[in-house]
Amino acid sequence: MEVLIGAGVLAATIRLATPVALAALGGVVTERSGVVNIALEGCMLVGAFFGVFAADKTGSLPAALAVAILAGLALAAMHAVAAITFRADQIVSGMALNILALGLTSYLDYQLYSSTGTPPTIPLVPNVHLGFLEKVPVLGGAVGDQSAIVWVTLAIVVFLQLFLFRTVPGLRLRSVGEHPRAADTLGIDVRRTRYWAVLASGALAALGGVYLSLSVAGSFSDNMTNGKGFIGLAAMIFGRWTPLGALGAALVFGYGDALSVSLQGVEVAGFVFPVQLLSTIPYLLTILAVAGFVGRSRMPAADGQPYESEGH
Amino acid sequence: MDTPIVEMARISKRFGDLQALAEVDLTVHKGDIHALVGENGAGKTTLMNILYGLYRPDAGTIRVRGTEAHIAGPRDAIALGIGMIHQHFMLVPPLTVAENVVLGDERGGPVLDTRGIEARVAELEKRFGIQAEPRAKIEDVPLGIQQRVEILKVLYRGSEILIFDEPTAVLTPQEVDDLFHIVRTLRDEGKTVILITHKLREVMAVSDHVTVLREGRNAAHLVTKETDPRAIAVAMVGRELRDIRVRPGNVGPAVLEITSLSAESDRGGLALKGVDVEVHAGEVVGIAGVGGNGQSELAQCILGLRKVTGGVIKVGGSDVAHDDPRRTRQRGVAYVPEDRRAEGLVLPFTLADNFILGRQDQPPYARRGILQGRVIRREGERLAKEFDVRPPDPDVEVGTLSGGNQQKVVLGREISESPRLIVANQPTRGLDIAATEYVHERLLEQRSRGCAILLISSELDEILDLSDRIAVMFEGRIVAVLPAAEATEERLGLLMAGHVEGVPA
């Protein structure tokens, strides 16, 4: 029982779900506006690296977070220029930027920190201790000592859910993703809306990246995101392009991830699951979710389609 | 005379090599219903897109209420009180009617005031007598209602000048009547209406003035009361029209016999619920009906493109209900599909290749599995000339041809084999008067040759002009079969809407 729903597993679930959720939220925002951004993986990675880099150089946590998010914004801006202004293939542009992010961060990491590793003294994102929960079984252990970014993520989920479905800018953003021509004829600036959405997705993914490096690991290592941005996109689909759904899907994936750790060495009727098999759980879940839900949930009608305004 | 509300003078616009508009003038007076007519490519929509700010003119001036206006985008147009009801609806399907009406001008704070928005839309509906359910999602309401939402959108923005771009293309005859009623109400409320169309019946029915464009130039300006459809048509086409009137032909034995045919739709429900129809040699049977009542499924069943779940389809006496398309075609069945771009042609292929599609594995086009390029090209050249495809270049990519020329390629391929049955589904959809005339002449030529023709069309004029007998389809059944002489537009319109009782026996 303990390995399935114990405080340890649940705490790990939340920890592992958070970066996936942030990437998924980024995906929701950008795809609701009609731009596919698979460079979210790269945005996470640069966020993770430049957060550590800035923390090392400035010794200031706010500066580190700001630089991490700026790095994500910069990468997303390149995607926006390619995808929106130049109407390039969004998958190709996203993939190219992912390769750029991987190469850039690995190179800089090697140049700067290969001999020593990233410094152990950098400021990290603090955890939030909920003292009053200490005595509560399971729940206290699960949420009583999580990173501040976890709570920020939760706030972002609520904010985005309300923003997309209960505000005027949210309505406009959705209309741009569904029928850009209609939005255009009503005086809504399709390109500007999409730029903002892509940039926001980059910032959200970068926050997910910096969470990995400055909260979970306390350091940077090569390709440390390891596909979490892509799993985030799967969570977005699984969650039907809504922030709440994306959070729920991220928690499912996080739970799969947590299980793959907590089930290690556990014996069931004399059989021990091989580690290699267990570590495929989150990826199997991803495939199942995408295969099972991609057809059933409806994506924004203009998702991934460049918009060319008439005339000029 | 008072100042015109819209005055477009010497407007020119060029797209690449194409001079879309050359010094076109348009003058519209307040409180008028002004029809802007012309063939496809005459520049009607381009001119209106300029007025609405979607295109910038290369030259010319626009005056609105006597003041020169520089319209850089839809926002400027809306500010001047100009609104456009687009041909392809500009609605966001998952949003509600009310949300679509206010989109872009929601008023109130950044938080969406759903209740307030719905109340405002309901009030607007009441004022102009336009019914649409504010809370329904667009994807759940029929096209006629969607169009009303488009009109509400424009009225919501306080437009005084309403541009309708081919508004009746997707409507049933009853919906057209409702629309015209709304348009007249709008005029009586002091609004000005510009109606883009190429349907003369509509021009005569609602407009006060007519401006005719031809090949990007002014062809005529007429007062509706003082003109007639023929004069407008001549101005549009630039020559006298040929009279296509069906004379009784020599009807031979039954070629197509369908009895209690049933089939499912793509969504799984029953699309055909026991269809009975016969077409004889030398006869055109028109299938009238509002789109989506099983006509397309009927055509697909005959061709073997859709699984037949019950009933019999006989062509020349033998049952083809369960044959594949190849076998059916070998029995002499030709098919002009509804969507020529998706089903009739391979757009990136050349003219010549498209002409021989379906026979590409037979001599002389292929020998021992090798395509005979020179033979194919020569055949393409010959058929392009015979069917007046422009340009008559066998190497041209079919996707670059105009709609009318594409349809000539489909038609040419299908009738060059002298079929005994032609199934034509919406053969003139989207074509202009000249191309439509051409298709009609060719079909009637086949009829006099003794070919049986099943003509599916939602254009009543087309059905009435070409058919010997007319079958009306409603909800997967043939609800009536009339000799053409007894069919009137009103009677067909009622039958198409499902009013079976009202028909005299």
Measured in degrees and rounded to the nearest 5, phi and psi for residue B371 equal -70, 140
Look at A50-54, A271-275, A299-303, B250-254 and tell me which has the smallest mean pLDDT: A271-275
Q: Say how far apart CA B201 and CA B199 lie, in whole Å.
A: 6
pLDDT average, residue stretch B435-447? 92
Of A168, A185, A312, the CB nearest to B90: A185
Question: Which of B261, B257, B336, B330 is closest to B298 using CA atoms?
Answer: B261
Alpha helices (H) along B30-142? 44-51, 74-79, 97-102, 114-128
In this predicted structure, the answer to whether residue A23 has a pLDDT above a threshold of 60 is yes
Which residue bears the tokens 């839900």? A293
Task: Give A295's pLDDT tier (boundaries 50, 70, 90).
Answer: low
Q: What is the pLDDT of residue A293?
A: 64
**% of chain A residues with pLDDT over 70:** 97
- Is residue B80's pLDDT more than 70? yes
Q: Report pLDDT for B353.
A: 93
The predicted model gives B453-462 an average pLDDT of 90
Peptide bond into B364 cis (omega under 30): yes
Has residue A27 got a pLDDT over 70?
A: yes
pLDDT band at A261 (very low <50, low <70, confident <90, very high): confident
Share of chain A above pLDDT 90, in %: 66
* Interface contact flag, B103 A187, Cβ < 8 Å: no
**Which pLDDT value is given to residue B459?**
83
Average pLDDT of span A141-148: 88
Whether A259 maps to a domain, the answer reads no
CA distances from B290 to B201, B311, B422, B497 (A): 18, 24, 21, 8
Cα separation, B339 vs B294, whole angstroms: 16
Q: Rounded to a whole number, what is the distance in angstroms from the first to the last CA of chain A? A: 66
Q: Is B269 exposed, middle or buried (0-12, 13-18, 19+ CB in 10 A)?
A: exposed
**Cβ-Cβ contacts under 8 Å, A33 against chain B:** none
pLDDT of residue A46: 98
A68-82, A200-214, A288-302, B477-491: range with lowest mean pLDDT: A288-302
Q: How would residue A115 be classed by pLDDT, with cut points 50, 70 and 90?
A: confident
| Structural domain includes residue A268 | no
Least confident of B90-94, B198-202, B408-412: B198-202
Establish if A164 belongs to a structural domain. Answer: yes
Q: Rounded to a whole number, what is the distance in Å from the CA of B112 to chain A's nearest CA? A: 4
- Asked if B105 and A182 come within 8 Å (Cβ–Cβ), the reply is no
Q: Read off the tokens for B1.
A: 């005379």
Residue A311 has its nearest CB partner, among B49, B84, B104, at B49
B90·A312 Cβ contact <8 A: no
CB contact under 8 A, A186 and B153: yes
**pLDDT band at A294; cut points 50, 70, 90:** low
Where in the sequence is the domain holding A145, given as residue range(s)? 21-225
Give the mean model confidence (pLDDT) for residues B341-365.
90
Tell me the chain A residues in contact with residue B94 when contact means C-beta distances shorter than 8 Å: 174, 178, 298
* d(C-alpha A247, C-alpha A20), whole Å: 8
**Rounded mean pLDDT of A178-194?**
92
Residue A246: inside a domain = no
User: How far does the CA of residue A206 sit from the closest CA of chain B (Å)?
Assistant: 27
B143, two tokens = 């096209």
How much is the average pLDDT of B319-327? 91
How many C-beta atoms surround the C-beta of residue B54 within 10 A? 23
**Nearest CA of chain A to the CA of B118: how many Å?**
14
Q: What's the number of domains chain A is made of?
A: 1
A51 within a domain of the structure (yes/no): yes
Chain B contacts of A32, Cβ < 8 Å? none
Question: B55 contacts in A (CB within 8 Å)?
Answer: 310-312
Average of pLDDT values for A21-27?
98
Residue B207 has pLDDT above 70, yes or no: yes
Is the pLDDT reported for residue B501 higher than 60?
no
Q: Residue A179's closest chain B neighbor by CA?
A: B92
Q: From chain A, which residues contact B within 8 Å (Cβ)?
A: 166-172, 174-175, 178-179, 181-188, 298, 301, 310-312
pLDDT at position A264: 81
- Whether residue B325 has a cis bond before it, omega within 30° of 0: no
Q: Read off the pLDDT of residues B95-124 as tens digits, 9 standing for 90 and up.
A: 999 999 999 888 888 999 999 999 999 999
Q: How far is A19 from chain B (nearest CA, A)?
A: 29
Q: What's the pLDDT at B384?
A: 92
Predicted confidence band of residue B202 (pLDDT cuts 50, 70, 90): confident
A97 inside domain: yes
Number of Cβ within 10 Å of residue A185's Cβ equals: 26
Residues of A with CB below 8 A from B153's CB?
186
CB contact under 8 A, B55 and A170: no
Higher pLDDT, B448 or A117: B448
pLDDT of residue B505 exceeding 50: no
Is residue B209 pLDDT above 60, yes or no?
A: yes
Distance from CA of A152 to the nearest CA of B (A): 22
The per-residue pLDDT for range A34-76, each reduced to its tens digit, is 999 999 999 999 999 999 999 999 999 999 999 999 999 999 9
Contact check, Cβ <8 Å, A311/B55: yes
Q: Which of B90, B94, B109 sits opposite A181 (nearest CB)?
A: B90
The count of CB pairs under 8 A between chains A and B is 74
Over residues A190-219, mean pLDDT: 96
pLDDT above 90: percentage of residues in chain B: 62
Alpha-helical segments (H) within B258-370: 295-303, 325-330, 351-356
Q: Would you say residue A88 has pLDDT above 70?
A: yes
Confidence at A296, pLDDT banded by 50, 70, 90: low
Give B395→chain A minimum CA distance, Å.
30
Question: CB distance B92–A178 less than 8 Å?
Answer: yes
Which chain A residues are Cβ-neighbours of B91 within 8 angstroms? 179, 182
SS3 B495: helix
Higher pLDDT, B419 or B239: B419
Asked if A175 and B111 come within 8 Å (Cβ–Cβ), the reply is no
Q: pLDDT tier at B503 (50, 70, 90 boundaries)?
A: very low
**Domains along chain B with CATH numbers:** 1-81+160-167+191-238 (3.40.50.300), 252-332+419-505 (3.40.50.300), 344-418 (no CATH)
Q: How many CB atoms lie within 10 A of CB B58?
A: 15
Q: Which of A62-76, B196-210, B238-252 has the highest mean pLDDT?
A: A62-76
Q: What is the pLDDT of residue A1?
A: 63
The reply to whether A80 falls in a domain is yes
pLDDT of residue B282: 93
pLDDT value at position B341?
Answer: 85
Residue B112 and residue A168: Cβ atoms within 8 Å? Answer: yes
Q: How confident is the model at residue A312 (pLDDT cuts 50, 70, 90)?
A: very low
Cα B54 to Cα B43, B45, B78: the distances in Å are: 14, 11, 12
Q: What are B168-192's pLDDT values in tens digits?
A: 877 777 788 889 999 999 999 899 9
- Taking an 8 Å cut-off on Cβ atoms, the answer to whether B112 and A166 are in contact is yes
What residues of chain A lie within 8 A of the CB of B105, using their CB? 186-187
CA dihedral B168, B170, B174, B178 (to 10 degrees): -50
Q: Is B502 left (phi over 0), alpha (psi -120 to 50) or beta?
A: alpha
Lowest average pLDDT, out of A16-25, B328-337, B495-504, goes to B495-504
**How far off is chain A from B479, nearest CA to CA, in Å?**
37
Region B228-257: mean pLDDT is: 81
What average pLDDT does range B487-502 have in this prediction? 79
**Distances A136 to A5, A139, B201, B237, B416 between C-alpha atoms, Å:** 15, 6, 79, 85, 84
Nearest CA in chain A to B85: A185
Q: What percent of chain B has pLDDT over 70?
A: 97
